Homo-oligomer: A and B are copies of this chain.
Amino acid sequence: MTATSTTQFRVRYSETDQMGTFYNAHALVWFECGRTDLMRSLGLPYAEVERRGVLLPLTEAHVEFLGRARYDDLLTVKTTATSEGRARVRFSHEILHADGRPVARGWTIHAFTDAAGKAIRPPEWMAKLMSTHA
């Protein structure tokens, strides 16, 4: 069983660069928007996760750039979560135009740490959520 969410957003002017498409690093920001929405749809907003003292910093990120997207284009990010071993979680992301043309895809891997950045085992409530959905 896998959890997936779909989020729509428009390319901001601030996200364009002089090539006339979006600046590459913003793909990682859009991935983050997808993760945020997926966590909320699972009933555990990431803001709440951090309030419980658990952080999910990235340990790895990968992006493939598949097509241009311009200012004000309406894009969709599809996000899926899967377990990555016993102590990590992988979010897979796909960014598409409204007509399905691909813009970017990729994934991020996240560790679990306490507020000081020390690695921890996924808390039970998180592990349960993951095993149910991912």
Contact = CB atoms under 8 A, between A and B. Distances in A.
Contact-residue bracket for chain A: 35 or more
A52 interface: no
B24 A61 contact: yes
A23 B71 CA distance: 13
A49 to B, nearest CB: 11
A16 B128 CA distance: 29
Given A17-B17, A47-B71, A29 B12 contact: yes
Contacts of A19: 55, 57, 117
A62 interface: yes
Contacts of A45: 72
B36 A13 contact: yes
18 contacts: A10-B36, A13-B17, A14-B32, A16-B17, A18-B50, A18-B70, A19-B57, A19-B117, A20-B117, A21-B57, A24-B32, A24-B61, A24-B108, A25-B29, A46-B71, A47-B70, A47-B72, A61-B65
